[in-house]
Structure 1
């Protein structure tokens, strides 16, 4: 419920940022985007503000009591009884006020903690969901290390922003207003003007210098993200680094990034020292002016010693939080910058989005999902306008039949699967499933109807059982094992010490290529969709396992609509139709016998592969 409210409120009046675009918005815009998340917890916001005001009223009352206590203890006190009774009462009241300040402060933080944590959770979840909704193009171009760093800093920024603004800036402003009012009413306006002048100079200096040095902090963050990205990228490609003995090269590249980060950090610290020195100078001048004025009043008889103590206590209470204003302001500015980066991710436009009137794909027939027909109708497509991939591609996969696509690398075969999944939208022509244009269907219903075994299998860093069950998370253990048997990997799994609880490692690197591919086949078989896409589904398998799994796949494909993308022609000889692609065009089509009889490009590929397999068979004994 909260998530739905957040989505509606946050997106209602906000611009959409096209993919690839970056735009730095004002701090006010960033705060406006954050506010709806907090306002979801209205009563907590109001209660926290009330407790904060009570805490500041109690805090301002402390110097007033201190003044009365000092004056009562003066040598000219009226009676010995007063010297005993009155100070005791004032001391008790003083202690109660001090305690009240702490109690109200803790109540404020206790009440508002749920709002802070809830807002951070809602924002993080929405960013996570939106990143999954963005197009494949975005994820192919992203820098994982830098992006995760931005999300991490953005989530932390929610806590920092609320902490510094609600717990530091706003209370200090309330206290300054109360103190200035008291000084102006109780004494002459000079005290208020001195205090106000010192505060104005202090704040102006702090804001000016902090704004100037924010660029150094922003540069540090950018360099930190680059260094983190470089480290993550190198560690993810650990094997490649080892293959080419480039550990020293990677360390040198990382050290270059760290050196730039170090120089930016030193510059940031130098400017921070300048800021702190200037702040202390302004505080010292203001404090001296106030105490000089108060001392002069005591000597002239206009003020008591208690008044002098009260003024000094007020100044200390004001300048202690102001002493950290530079740090607080810098952190608030940095938190706003970090939060804006995360909001920018959330506002990235989806390249592939459901149409407003998109409808779900319904394939029910006699209680089960009926296999639909799939049609590519004069499809033109290019990832980059300067380099077209598909040229006027038209073919149909009749319901319940298998169509195979073959051709050299780069001919556009895998692009067909990406377009069918709607990872991208075609520039011209259309793709239909069950007679419906896929751009008029909801992506969720379309993808639920399709299962794919990709050419490059990537697994989650979790157990074998988790990765197989990912095809249908609600599946039972028996169904998972049945899918593993069909993919000819059950015996291997049970032979390992951990069985189905064996961890596969980052991206499945603890498994061989063939084992990963069989896990991918198992999870697709477990999903059991009416449309299947096999993109080189058995390319990493040995001949014996390939023949066994091909038989299983053929049995599973019965009654389903199947698109097979293959290099090895022996795996698709039984397809209902074979398409030969070259340079993004279909140059031949027909059954296996028909294409061999035509003696064209397919026949040539067949002869080359047969000769290659025969040659490999002869090479084995000689080796």
Structure 2
């Protein structure tokens, strides 16, 4: 466990870990020496040998001084490592998350990820900053006291040396079920966190369908399972702690019995016996503390396992070779892909999007249209074949080089809980206010800003909750316009918008795609008809390709799709006959 925890210490603080361990052990040894020296101090003091008493007292004072000095060192070093570890580890996790394929996030719960990044990192930090010193002290002090007592009476020392491993074994037995209970508690708490977030974010839907309060079965069930898991954790921990505590007290009674017996035999003085009883209590106290620490230690160990498991998730290989992009074209060559190896989504996909042209991708839901866009942006790596952007395989380009060539506008727009201006500037943080305003005006975001209380400085809420769907889409187009990349990947999302919002967004899209290379998952008939190339995708394969006129003349799948869409655009409500 300790090796895994120290493996999480940032490199710039790694040189401090040997110093921390040395300071902890030195403090614990000094503490044990101070306890054992109580025996000769009391014997000399009450035996009227003041000369020896002064020397033993001086030795004891040196040991106590060492405890203070090494205690200060281990506390400051531990805090320094712990604080640096929290900051460095969270940055490391953030960098790792940035390198993970997007598909990894789709299978993960946001609540679980949040617990690892925040709570589990804090637990690991606490283990280094605080718990490690207590844990090592609870081992070294009893061992030091037992060995030191050997110079006073070997029988009492032997009893201590036998009792310590027995207590350790009992402690392991008493806490053997904690790991399973802690994992159940972690899962239940993660689900409860997610349900609470969901409850806060989905209030309109919940209220519309009466699923609030006791009507929200998902939230109630998650909270109930969390309470059950918490009770299970207590029930699996407390009985073992009680048994261990009773055994520790029994060990203390046995040691006191042995000390009294040695006095009765005349082997040691009454003054030495008093000191040995005090030393015996110092022997069992760290052991008792170890039992109380066991729960926290196991929790921290489980947290370290989760953090290590997250950091062990395989990332997309990153090229470090500089690449100079060529003409802004996109090429798919015999591409095979599946989110899971045994379940292919795309098969034998081959097409070229020449620079400055528009390719529209159409087809039924689930055909793999959006997946094609994500492969072009290297959100995933292909299973077979290759994808080229700017004349180079996307796998051979550094991420920054690849993404500099792309502007992405997807269906699900996510805005950060920041100002409108900050959300538009995400693609170009160094953009001037004039450039930002031009992009916002082209996307008609200025119409939104005029209605907001603080203009461009108005916070949009988590996910852009204070804006409508059409308004969020306008902001996403503005950020793409501001980036001004030569290739646009567009998952057009106007079908769910009202006519006014759709018209505004479409004008923004036309501005965005002017003189650009465009791949668009098309929903609007006008976009489809004016594309230089249309790909009809079904079942993960391109079943038809050509221009609009060529595909209509073919009278195949695309023609059926076009006719259905054309009929749908002309529907209207008729008054019911009286």
User: TM-score interval w.r.t. the shorter chain?
Assistant: 0.7 to 0.9
- 1:34-45 alignment to 2 at 5 Å? 34-35=6-7, 37=9, 40-41=12-13, 43-45=15-17
Q: Is contact 1:371-1:530 (8 Å) kept?
A: no
**Residue 513 (structure 1) aligned with residue 472 (structure 2):** no
Task: Name which of structure 1's ranges 191-200 and 263-272 shifts more when overlaid on structure 2.
Answer: 263-272
The offset of 1:419, in angstroms, is 1.8
Q: How many residues align?
A: 575
The offset of 1:569, in angstroms, is 1.0
What residue in structure 1 maps to residue 361 of structure 2?
405
What residue in structure 2 maps to residue 241 of structure 1?
206
Pick from 348, 353, 361 the counterpart of residue 317 of structure 2.
353
Pick from 202, 220, 223 the counterpart of residue 188 of structure 2.
223
**Residue 263 (structure 1) aligned with residue 225 (structure 2):** no
Task: Name which of structure 1's ranges 513-522 and 311-320 shifts more when overlaid on structure 2.
Answer: 311-320
**Distance in 1 between the 2:16 and 2:330 partners?**
54
**Distance in 1 between the 2:486 and 2:308 partners?**
38
For residues 274 and 378 of structure 1, do their structure 2 counterparts lie closer, same or farther at Cα, with a shift above 3 Å needed? closer
CA deviation vs aligned residue, 1:486-526 (integer Å, no higher than 9, x gap): 11111321331121121212211211011000000001111
What residue in structure 2 maps to residue 560 of structure 1?
516
CA deviation vs aligned residue, 1:475-495 (integer Å, no higher than 9, x gap): 223222221111111132133
The offset of 1:341, in angstroms, is 1.5
**Distance in 1 between the 2:66 and 2:320 partners?**
59
- 1:14-53 alignment to 2 at 5 Å? 27=1, 31-32=3-4, 34-35=6-7, 37=9, 40-41=12-13, 43-53=15-25
**Residue 528 (structure 1) aligned with residue 499 (structure 2):** no
**Residue 394 (structure 1) aligned with residue 358 (structure 2):** no
The offset of 1:551, in angstroms, is 4.6
- 1:362-401 alignment to 2 at 5 Å? 362-363=324-325, 371-383=327-339, 388-401=344-357
What residue in structure 2 maps to residue 450 of structure 1?
406
SS in 2 for 1:571: helix
The offset of 1:344, in angstroms, is 0.8
CA deviation vs aligned residue, 1:549-585 (integer Å, no higher than 9, x gap): 5455434434321112211112344333333444444
Q: Is contact 2:545-2:551 (8 Å) kept?
A: yes
The offset of 1:586, in angstroms, is 4.1
The offset of 1:207, in angstroms, is 1.4
Q: Is contact 2:214-2:220 (8 Å) kept?
A: no
SS in 1 for 2:124: helix
**Residue 467 (structure 1) aligned with residue 423 (structure 2):** yes
- 1:558-597 alignment to 2 at 5 Å? 558-592=514-548
Q: Is contact 1:400-1:561 (8 Å) kept?
A: yes
What residue in structure 1 maps to residue 269 of structure 2?
304
Q: Is contact 1:201-1:282 (8 Å) kept?
A: no
**Distance in 1 between the 2:237 and 2:345 partners?**
54
CA deviation vs aligned residue, 1:358-388 (integer Å, no higher than 9, x gap): 744423xxxxxx6422222344444456765
SS in 1 for 2:263: helix
For residues 246 and 309 of structure 1, do their structure 2 counterparts lie closer, same or farther at Cα, with a shift above 3 Å needed? same
What residue in structure 2 maps to residue 208 of structure 1?
173
**Distance in 1 between the 2:92 and 2:448 partners?**
40
Task: Name which of structure 1's ranges 340-349 and 392-401 shifts more when overlaid on structure 2.
Answer: 392-401
**Distance in 2 between the 1:380 and 1:42 partners?**
44
**Distance in 2 between the 1:49 and 1:378 partners?**
57
Pick from 48, 54, 61 the counterpart of residue 77 of structure 1.
48
What residue in structure 1 maps to residue 280 of structure 2?
315
Pick from 27, 44, 50 the counterpart of residue 55 of structure 1.
27
CA deviation vs aligned residue, 1:216-243 (integer Å, no higher than 9, x gap): 2332223222333333344444333233
SS in 2 for 1:579: strand
Is there any run of 5+ residues in structure 1 with no aligned partner, and where? 1-26, 364-369
Superposition TM-score, scaled by structure 2 size:
0.88
